[in-house]
């Protein structure tokens, strides 16, 4: 009996879909059962998905990125950039030569008064890195980190500045850096998303973070960042409802895949726009939905094992500052330990948002709260990766979307600092970074990036370079234009490279 084209496509797609599902349930099913079954043309399924850059443009120094994102804008003047001259001018009028015709956020139109750093600084390590007394645990990694004192950005308010730091542009809708990295390199894990976001909070108020910051933009939907929930199931609907057995769930997943495959076959036959989107890698196509169902099924096994910290020895929990009774609680410390576990499992880009650095008032109080919540764990992550031999190929980044003003903001509860985009500090470690280095310099008052300024686009170009990617060649065509993470700017900051 002959079959028409539609029937052939439908049955063929269902068969492929069922085979793919079978590999999820038992990957051994598609492997050769005996040496006689193996052949040169029947290679085993790859353990990772390849990216758009194959082969790499450059020798890679790093395989993965962990971005410790201090949302809200930590003050560079109380962390990594001491300013003796600013201390001398404390409580005096800010010189107009610095601020005249310059964009200022909440201090616009107000009397501008200098406020010197409110904490001491000490030199640490063989390199003599200068680090604030708010960050005593950072002293242990002074020789492993490269501090950039001359960062600057384009936007003075939080959401657009987050957008620049995460996407390289202030225009909403562009792909995030994690999505670009995953698009370029592919994933090293089949059982977890290649781009995962974790959040924590302790202090003044949780800094709002839009999901746009880890969105795939115009890249295919499979490069979207996946945010794990801070409480309850890490992923919604991870646990099966009461009374739903593994067999019943298998039937549901199988049926959904078959229906999706039928729809995809019909779309291809009719040459619909959705089929063209699927072929070209569009974000909302049926193929992406099928891939999401596959990943969701895998997550039911991989995520509970990932989140269970009971197999971590007490000395590791102590290193991160996690008490045994706090292992199931959301915190930056727990997220740092999870970041190491995610890195071990092949996750390509891991981003940890600590949502409380917007200190317009009561700066000393909230700096102490934030630093207590993050200082030990951030240092522990670097030390833990190092002792496991993973720091060499893991790039760790610490910083926020901008810095804080040298001028005091006199809100209630004690003095604070306003938003500042002209200068701020970040640090990098591992993955080809020259540890024990301080790069760049601000002016005497910490207002402008004065020597070796580093724009966010330059930071992104350097991150991609360390991953083996030429930032100017990682592009994606959209609406008739080749877009890239660094837009039309960006340079590799070679002074940071080992």
Q: For the whole model, what pTM was predicted?
A: 0.84
Q: What is the token pair recorded at 408?
A: 């005091």
Give the span between the Cα atoms of 377 and 11, in whole angstroms. Answer: 53
Give the span between the Cα atoms of 91 and 87, in whole angstroms. Answer: 9
Q: How far is CA 75 from CA 154, 164, 333, 347, 434, in A?
A: 17, 18, 21, 30, 24
Break the chain into its structural domains and give their ranges. 1-27+238-310, 62-231+330-496
pLDDT, position 229: 84
**CB contact set of 253 (below 8 Å; sequence gap of 6+):** 21, 293, 297
pLDDT, position 376: 98
| Residue 382 · residue 119 · CB < 8 Å | no
Give the span between the Cα atoms of 381 and 376, in whole angstroms. Answer: 9
pLDDT, position 156: 97
Q: Is 420 helix (H, G, I), strand (E, B) or coil?
A: strand
- In this structure, what DSSP letter does residue 433 have? B
pLDDT, position 288: 63
Give the span between the Cα atoms of 358 and 207, in whole angstroms. Answer: 7
Q: How far is CA 340 from the centre of its chain?
A: 13
The dihedral sign for the CA sequence 19, 22, 24, 28: negative
| Residues counted in the chain | 498
β-strands 424-429, 145-152 pairing: antiparallel
pLDDT, position 121: 98
Give the span between the Cα atoms of 219 and 175, in whole angstroms. Answer: 7
pLDDT, position 256: 78
Give the span between the Cα atoms of 26 and 193, in whole angstroms. Answer: 19
pLDDT, position 208: 87
Bridge-partner residues for 34, per DSSP?
none
**CB contact set of 105 (below 8 Å; sequence gap of 6+):** 156, 157, 418, 419
> For domain 62-231+330-496, is the CATH number 3.40.720.10?
yes
Q: How far is CA 261 from CA 16, 45, 144, 272, 414, in A?
A: 9, 21, 50, 15, 62
Q: Where are the alpha helices (DSSP H) in 122-235?
A: 158-167, 177-185
**CB contact set of 87 (below 8 Å; sequence gap of 6+):** 116, 117
Residues of the chain under the 70 pLDDT cut: 1-49, 231-232, 236-243, 246, 270-294, 296-297, 324-329, 411
pLDDT, position 285: 62
Give the span between the Cα atoms of 140 and 297, in whole angstroms. Answer: 41
User: Strand locations in 177-331, DSSP E?
Assistant: 186-187, 195-200, 226-227
């Amino acid at each position: 009996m002959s079959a028409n084209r539609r029937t052939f496509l439908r049955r063929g797609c269902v068969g492929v879909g069922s085979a793919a599902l079978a590999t999820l349930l038992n990957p051994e099913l598609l492997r050769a059962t005996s040496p006689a079954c193996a052949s040169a043309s029947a290679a085993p399924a790859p353990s990772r998905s390849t990216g758009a850059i194959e082969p790499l443009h450059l020798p890679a120094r790093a395989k993965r990125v962990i971005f410790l994102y201090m949302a809200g804008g930590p003050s560079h003047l109380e962390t990594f950039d001491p300013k003796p001259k600013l201390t001398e001018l404390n409580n005096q009028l800010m010189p107009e030569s610095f601020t005249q015709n310059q964009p200022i956020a909440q201090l616009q139109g107000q009397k501008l008064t200098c406020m010197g750093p409110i904490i001491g600084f000490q030199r640490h390590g063989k390199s003599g890195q200068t680090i604030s007394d708010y960050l005593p645990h950072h002293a242990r990694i002074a020789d492993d980190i490269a501090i950039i004192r001359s960062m600057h950005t384009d936007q003075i308010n939080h959401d657009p500045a987050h957008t620049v730091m995460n996407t390289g542009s202030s225009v909403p809708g562009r792909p995030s850096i994690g999505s670009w990295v995953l698009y370029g390199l592919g994933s090293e894990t089949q059982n977890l998303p290649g781009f995962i976001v974790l959040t924590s909070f302790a202090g003044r108020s949780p800094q709002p973070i839009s999901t746009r910051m880890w969105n795939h933009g115009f890249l295919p939907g499979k490069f979207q960042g996946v945010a794990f929930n801070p409480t309850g199931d890490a992923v919604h609907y991870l646990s099966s409802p009461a009374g739903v057995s593994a067999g019943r769930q298998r039937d549901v997943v199988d049926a959904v895949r078959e229906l999706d495959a039928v729809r995809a076959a019909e779309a291809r036959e009719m040459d619909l726009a959705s089929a063209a989107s699927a072929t070209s890698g569009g974000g909302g196509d049926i193929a992406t939905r099928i891939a999401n169902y596959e990943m969701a099924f895998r997550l039911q096994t991989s995520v509970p094992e990932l989140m269970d910290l009971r197999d971590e020895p007490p000395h590791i929990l102590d290193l991160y500052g996690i008490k045994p009774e706090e292992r199931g609680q959301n915190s930056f410390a727990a997220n740092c330990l999870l970041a190491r576990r995610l890195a071990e499992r092949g996750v390509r880009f891991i981003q940890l948002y600590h949502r409380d650095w917007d200190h317009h008032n009561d700066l000393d109080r909230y700096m102490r709260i934030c630093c207590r919540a993050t200082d030990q764990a951030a240092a522990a992550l670097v030390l833990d990766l190092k002792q496991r031999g993973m720091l060499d190929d893991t790039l760790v980044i610490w910083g926020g979307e901008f810095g804080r003003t040298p001028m005091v903001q006199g809100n209630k509860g004690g003095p604070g600092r306003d938003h500042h985009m002209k200068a701020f500090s970040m640090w990098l470690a591992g993955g080809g970074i020259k540890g024990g280095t301080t790069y760049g310099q601000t002016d005497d008052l910490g207002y402008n990036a004065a020597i070796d300024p580093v724009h966010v686009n330059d930071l992104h170009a350097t991150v991609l370079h360390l991953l083996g990617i030429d930032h100017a060649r990682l592009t994606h065509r959209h609406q008739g234009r080749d877009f890239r993470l660094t837009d039309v700017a960006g340079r590799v900051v070679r002074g940071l490279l080992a």
